[in-house]
């Protein structure tokens, strides 16, 4: 203050008259404030060296460990019309309990005697199939008889051919002998003519010799005719042998063609019988699908298809069932930057919706209301939300999870890693570094070696 005025305020008592001036008036001791500042700074520096557990937090929800234990919808296999309900929402059902009955809506299955008529068709087709089989067997016997008859006829024709061949050889030899006799007779006749001219032989002798020549010539002509007939018989035998082959080939071909037709009809009828049997099985299975049953024990949580007389197509979701027995797990999603840090068996602290908790993420031993867990599965592919999915199960060494915990409840997971000083964690967070990659001392030793 410059104190230009004669009215001084250092010792004025008017300050006591105003509460606002008293509140802003500085009455503290500078030494006390400096001491408090150093004490606070010391406490802050000490806190920087306090151990801090590195962690990664990830939101999630409660699920089940096995897919078969999760809520599922019961669907109908065939289309139909809702006829009667046997359960209500919230009711417990056992495996195989009837939930709903539907009736047929396709005209192909309206006939109440469809099964009996289908069975009669199977019997009729089976009888036709047996007849075709018997016809095929009869034709097979006929083919075997034709083959045997053919063999006999061939042997007979071969014997005839062999006989005619021998006859041709015999007649050929006789022709040769007759020619030799004819030549001899010709020479004798010429010599007789010379002797007759010389008067050494009589006319009677000459005529006798000429008669002998004529007989020999006639014999030669007869033998040659017989040889020609034998050759004709031989050629006829050859033709007969070929005719036997052709005749039986035609008969066997016709019999085999009829047999193949019978077999084809047999197989076609058999295929028809098989189709009818398959149709019968489908009809019986279809009738069994009129009743929608529970696939496993559980609670009916919601009736999706409602009302009586409602038509529903195949594959319609009818009711939702929550299995009675299930193993809880927590499903969480982590950022890709933290994915390399996770391993199966990593310790996780969990906070569930509805269970109050006091959480100190860096000092898990001071937290209250959290539950222990371990990572059991890690997806190796990224989810549509751009994060990696992990499954956490209860830690057997910790207290069990709450019994009233239900599927779908919210959860918050804290994955615990290495213990570091607070200053290191602050420095890491400011630089945006991920938590330390090493998980335990054994891993450190392996890398050091």
Do 103 and 310 contact (CB within 8 A), yes or no? no
Pair 434, 341: CB distance under 8 Å: yes
Q: Any long-range contacts for 334-337 (C-beta under 8 Å, 24+ apart)? A: 334/56, 334/58, 334/387, 334/388, 334/390, 334/415, 335/56, 335/387, 335/388, 336/382, 336/386, 336/387, 336/388, 337/434
Q: Which fold has domain 71-94+293-323?
A: OB fold (Dihydrolipoamide Acetyltransferase, E2P) (2.40.50)
pLDDT given at position 278: 92
CB-based contact 405:424 (threshold 8 Å): no
Domains 71-94+293-323 and 114-288 share a fold: no
* CB 255 within 8 Å of CB 142: yes
| 217 CB burial (10 A radius; 0-12, 13-18, 19+) | middle
Provide the token pair at 41: 């700074």
Residue 16 is predicted with a pLDDT of 63
The predicted structure's pLDDT at residue 353: 85
The CATH classification of domain 114-288, taken from the options 1.10.287.620, 1.10.260.40, 3.30.230.10, 1.20.1440.230: 1.10.287.620
What is the CA angle 100-103-104, rounded to 5? 140
Query: Are 90 and 299 within 8 A, CB to CB?
Result: yes
Cα gap 83→401, rounded to integer Å: 43
In this prediction, the residues of the chain whose per-residue pLDDT falls under 50 are: 1, 11, 438-449
Domain boundaries, the chain: 52-68+326-448, 71-94+293-323, 114-288
Q: What is the pLDDT of residues 381-422, one digit of tens each?
A: 888 888 899 899 998 888 888 888 888 888 888 877 777 777
What pLDDT is stored for residue 154 in this prediction?
Answer: 79
Which CATH number, 2.40.30.170, 3.30.1330.10, 2.60.98.20, 3.40.50.460, labels domain 52-68+326-448? 2.40.30.170
Structure tokens given for 60: 């999630």
What are 345's two structure tokens? 């068996």
Instruction: Write down the pLDDT at residue 436.
Output: 65
What pLDDT was estimated at residue 328?
A: 87
Q: Is 201 exposed, middle or buried (0-12, 13-18, 19+ CB in 10 A)?
A: middle
**pLDDT of the residue at 350:** 86
- pLDDT score at 1: 46
Joined tokens for residue 220:
């030669």
């Amino acid at each position: 203050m410059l104190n230009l005025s004669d009215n001084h305020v250092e010792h004025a008592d008017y300050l006591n008259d105003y509460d606002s001036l008293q509140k802003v008036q500085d009455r503290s001791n500078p030494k006390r404030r400096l001491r408090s500042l150093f004490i606070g700074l010391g406490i802050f520096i000490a806190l920087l060296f306090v151990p801090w557990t590195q962690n990664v937090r990830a939101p999630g929800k409660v699920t089940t460990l096995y897919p078969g234990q999760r809520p599922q919808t019961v669907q109908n296999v065939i289309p139909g019309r809702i006829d009667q309900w046997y359960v209500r929402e919230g009711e417990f059902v056992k495996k195989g309990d009837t939930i709903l009955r539907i009736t047929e809506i396709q005209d192909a299955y309206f006939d109440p005697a469809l099964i009996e008529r289908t069975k009669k068709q199977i019997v009729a087709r089976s009888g036709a199939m047996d007849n075709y089989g018997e016809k095929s067997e009869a034709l097979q016997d006929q083919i075997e008889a034709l083959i045997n008859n053919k063999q006999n006829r061939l042997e007979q024709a071969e014997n005839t051919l062999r006989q005619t061949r021998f006859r041709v050889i015999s007649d050929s030899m006789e022709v040769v002998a007759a020619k030799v006799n004819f030549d001899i007779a010709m020479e004798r006749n010429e010599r007789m003519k010379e002797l007759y001219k010389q008067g050494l032989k009589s006319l009677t002798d000459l005529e006798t010799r000429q008669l002998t020549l004529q007989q020999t010539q006639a014999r030669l002509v007869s033998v040659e005719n017989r040889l020609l007939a034998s050759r004709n018989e031989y050629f006829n035998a050859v033709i007969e042998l070929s005719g036997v082959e052709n005749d039986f080939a035609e008969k066997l071909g016709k019999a085999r063609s009829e047999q193949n037709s019978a077999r084809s009809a047999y197989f076609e009828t058999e295929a028809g019988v098989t189709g009818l049997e398959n149709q019968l099985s489908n009809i019986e299975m279809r009738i069994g699908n009129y009743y929608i049953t529970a696939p496993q024990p559980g609670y009916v949580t919601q009736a999706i298809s409602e009302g009586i007389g409602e038509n529903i197509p195949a594959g319609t979701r009818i009711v939702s069932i929550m299995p009675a027995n299930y193993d809880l797990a927590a499903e969480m999603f982590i950022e890709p930057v933290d994915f390399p840090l996770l391993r199966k068996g990593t310790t996780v602290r969990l906070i569930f919706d509805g269970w109050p908790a006091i959480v100190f993420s860096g000092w898990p031993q001071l937290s209250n209301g959290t539950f222990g867990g371990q990572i059991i599965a890690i997806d190796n592919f990224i989810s549509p939300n751009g994060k990696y999915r992990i499954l956490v199960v209860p830690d057997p060494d910790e207290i069990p999870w709450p019994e009233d915990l239900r599927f779908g409840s919210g959860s918050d997971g804290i994955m615990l890693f290495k213990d570091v000083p607070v200053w290191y964690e602050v420095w890491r967070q400011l630089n945006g570094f991920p938590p330390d990659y090493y998980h335990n001392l054994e891993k450190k030793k392996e890398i050091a070696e």
